[in-house]
Amino acid sequence: MKNNKNIDALQIQAATLIKTKEFDKALIIYEAILEIDNQHLQALTHLPIIYLMNKRFEEAINMINKSFTVVKPEVGDYQNLATAYVAIEDYNNAINSYNKIITINPNIKETYKLLGDAQVEIADHPGALNSYRRALDLAPGEFEQLYDYGVILHINKYHGEALKVLREAKKIDIKHIECTNKIASCLSAVGNYKEAKLTYKRLMEWVPGALGPAIDYASNLWYEGQYDEAIKILKELLLKKSLKKSHETKIKQNMSVFYLANKNFKEGWKYHDTRIAVRNDEDKTKRHDMLKKHFDIDIGGKALHPSEKIIILLDAGLGDIILGLSMLKEFQKIYSNISAEVDHRLVNLFKRSVPDVKFYPFQQNRDEILIDYNLDKFDKGIYWMSLGKYVRQDIHDFPIKPVAFLKPDTNHANKIEKKLKKSKEIICGISWKSSGGEKYHKSTQLENLIPILSIKGIRFLDLQYENKQHIGETAVEKKNLHNRNNISIENYSAIDKLNDIDGLAALIFNCDIVVTSSSVTAHIAGGLGIKTFLFVPFSRGKLWYWHDKKNISVWYPSIRIFKAESANEWGEVFEKIAKAVLNEIK
């Protein structure tokens, strides 16, 4: 056949085979045509489709891109290209292809839906929000578009709006299981635990034996403060036969949080490492799997030996790692040959605080991780938030008196002191919002702090950081506070409070007291030994380590904890803090 130079005859033969659906035979002929004429239009445009049908995705991609040198790309070409990229999980190139389609024709709802799906895969949730919104604009009232948009609103923490959209979707498909489940999740996220529980019960009736709704039902009991009942349900679920690994992991993870929050550390640490499997499943980089190729990781038990070279691995946010640092010196007494990776923003602060430990900067930009050390030089690894199973087994293992284990940059702190022109007035640092996963429950409006901000003889200093998507919001709150109540909060603008953590620590060091929500600010203040008044939600959003033994944090004895009086309500928390602050400054 290769000797047959009659391309027209070969083309007719291939077309006939296509009509009879003999695609594999047609593929051979088209490949033969390209050997004769590598720019043959019909072969270049038909071969990619056959390659896609045969799941030969890389070849399809190469052929489509080659065809672009011969013919102007059309919507269908980019659709095929995107399909191939998605199949090999190259979502960034798939996104580029979908955007090319939009450039040609901006009114195809399926393109925006598929674009949103790809953006979700790379955790570009703001981008997916825009894409699904556009798909809904082009097809208002359709279930799929409403459902996708509702889910992505929920992922982006717009729980109230998500609830409205998902309820609209449910009107179209009243017994759609996943839609109902997402509605229950949104109800829980906005603090409507009563309706959330009823919805989870309904799901359990619709799908007898389904464990997901039962696990979430237990969580809602926990959010309402029904600790014993929540633990009882989870224990019963754990005993079920043929338990899926994913369900077992989620149950154990929840039990860990419940136990630790209730100061049952021995049981809590037993299950705490299950969080690693959950995160690894969600992690696009599969970093935990990668790390295991270099060294064993202490998961589930106590597998470390004093003679080994140990690397402490990053597994949490800034605040949690500072909490981990509070245990490091005790851990170091047992395992002296240790190094640690930390968020790059914490490196200088940590090096100064524990100078005899090597700290490596860790930086991640979506699915790209940047580290500058050799993984192969270590014998074992352990995650930061697993140190507790070695040094915090009992309530008596915690510090009794405030310990200033963080060491700020004294030169920077002195420079700030001069600029602030500190006098005899008390300086109180203020932070009222959190950017964490439960920010809806942990944050408050600035005006709610008026009972504290009205105290005379105090200079209030802004410690609040802002993420990019919320820049300017706190400035508006401060302006409104001044206009309506004649209360001013000073801003030290020379520090980027989101990215310059070392600078933020130096700023907090200049505060006599701090009032804050549950955020990295609280951890820094506690680590510096600054007298701190922390307000936390009743249950949901109250991180397990904010134990309030006589209102004093067991992790940071300089922090007094003020818990909301009921689910989703702050009650008189801020009046109580104001009273405590007055007693402190007398």
Average pLDDT over residues 322-326: 97
Residue 520 to residue 439: CA distance in whole angstroms? 12
Average pLDDT over residues 7-35: 78
Question: What value, to the nearest 5°, has the Cα angle with vertex 449 and ends 505 and 581?
Answer: 70
Q: pLDDT tier at 53 (50, 70, 90 boundaries)?
A: confident
Is there a single domain that holds both residue 40 and residue 158? yes
What is the Cβ-side half-sphere exposure of residue 313, based on CA atoms within 13 angstroms? Answer: 22
**pTM to 2 decimal places:** 0.85
The CATH number assigned to the domain holding 265 equals 1.25.40
| Structure-model confidence comparison of residues 3 and 125, the more confident one | 125
Residue carrying the six token digits 């980089």:
285
Query: How far apart, in Å, do the first and last CA atoms of the chain sit?
Result: 99
What is the predicted pLDDT for the residue at 242?
A: 83
| Structure-model confidence comparison of residues 43 and 547, the more confident one | 547
Output the CA–CA distances (angstroms, integers) from residue 338 to 81, 300, 316, 333, 358, in the order listed: 48, 20, 19, 10, 8
Residue 488 domain flag: yes
Domain final residue pick, 374, 397, 420 = 397
Residue 579 to residue 34: CA distance in whole angstroms? 84
5-33: burial string, b at 16+ Cβ within 10 Å, e else: eeeeebbebbeebbeeeebeebbebbebb
Q: Is residue 355 predicted with pLDDT exceeding 90? A: yes
Q: Which of 33-37, 178-182, 291-295 has the lowest mean pLDDT?
A: 33-37
Dihedral angle, C-alpha 481, 483, 487, 493, nearest 10 °: 70
Residue 419 domain flag: yes
Q: Is residue 285 predicted with pLDDT exceeding 50? A: yes
Share of the chain above pLDDT 90, in %: 73
Share of the chain above pLDDT 70, in %: 98
The CATH number assigned to the domain holding 11 equals 1.25.40.10
Is there a single domain that holds both residue 265 and residue 128? no
Give per-residue pLDDT as tens, 454-473.
999 999 999 999 876 667 88
Q: Is residue 20 predicted with pLDDT exceeding 90? A: no
Output the CA–CA distances (angstroms, integers) from residue 447 to 278, 371, 462, 480, 573, in the order listed: 38, 42, 14, 9, 13
Query: Which H or E element spans position 2?
Result: none
What is the predicted pLDDT for the residue at 1?
A: 42
Q: pLDDT tier at 549 (50, 70, 90 boundaries)?
A: low
Give per-residue pLDDT as tens, 104-124.
999 999 999 999 999 999 889
What is the predicted pLDDT for the residue at 445?
A: 94
What is the Cβ-side half-sphere exposure of residue 318, based on CA atoms within 13 angstroms? Answer: 26
Which residues is 490 bridged to in the sheet? 461
The CATH number assigned to the domain holding 509 equals 3.40.50.2000
| Residue 82 tokens, joined | 């995107």
What is the predicted pLDDT for the residue at 5?
A: 59
| Structure-model confidence comparison of residues 468 and 488, the more confident one | 488
Which residues is 563 bridged to in the sheet? 536
Average pLDDT over residues 359-383: 90
Residue 386 domain flag: yes
Residue 270 to residue 118: CA distance in whole angstroms? 37
Residues 6+ away with beta carbon under 8 Å from 130? none
What is the average pLDDT score of the chain?
A: 91
Residue 508 to residue 505: CA distance in whole angstroms? 5
Is there a single domain that holds both residue 433 and residue 546? yes
Give per-residue pLDDT as tens, 249-274.
999 999 999 999 999 999 999 999 99
Q: pLDDT tier at 35 (50, 70, 90 boundaries)?
A: confident
Residue 515 to residue 532: CA distance in whole angstroms? 6
Give per-residue pLDDT as tens, 436-446.
767 778 999 99
Is there a single domain that holds both residue 112 and residue 194? yes
Is there a single domain that holds both residue 328 and residue 188? no
**How many domains does the chain fold into?**
4
Closest CA to 505 of 389, 577, 408, 427: 408
Is there a single domain that holds both residue 361 and residue 419? no
Domain span at 306: 299-397
Is there a single domain that holds both residue 213 and residue 179? no
Chain centre distance of CA 467: 14
Q: Is residue 247 predicted with pLDDT exceeding 60? A: yes
What is the predicted pLDDT for the residue at 469?
A: 64
Domain final residue pick, 254, 282, 310 = 282
Residue 158 domain flag: yes
Closest CA to 10 of 45, 39, 42: 42
Is there a single domain that holds both residue 340 and residue 442? no
Helix-, strand-, coil-residue percentages of the chain, each rounded to 5: 55, 10, 35
What is the predicted pLDDT for the residue at 534?
A: 98
Residue 180 to residue 506: CA distance in whole angstroms? 48
Q: Is residue 152 predicted with pLDDT exceeding 60? A: yes
Q: Is residue 573 predicted with pLDDT exceeding 90? A: yes
Is there a single domain that holds both residue 211 and residue 171? no
Is there a single domain that holds both residue 432 and residue 389? no
What is the predicted pLDDT for the residue at 282?
A: 77
Residue 258 domain flag: yes
Domain final residue pick, 397, 427, 451 = 397
What is the predicted pLDDT for the residue at 501?
A: 97
- Note the helical H segments in 262-327: 265-272, 274-282, 287-291, 318-325
Is there a single domain that holds both residue 434 and residue 548? yes
Q: Is residue 2 predicted with pLDDT exceeding 50? A: no
Residue 149 domain flag: yes
What is the predicted pLDDT for the residue at 123?
A: 84
Is there a single domain that holds both residue 140 and residue 35? yes
Q: Under a CB-based contact definition with an 8 Å cutoff, are residues 489 and 481 in contact?
A: yes
Dihedral angle, C-alpha 547, 439, 198, 141, nearest 10 °: -170
3-state class of 296 per DSSP?
strand
552: exposed, middle or buried (Cβ count in 10 Å: 0-12, 13-18, 19+): middle
Residue 403 domain flag: no
| Structure-model confidence comparison of residues 342 and 27, the more confident one | 342
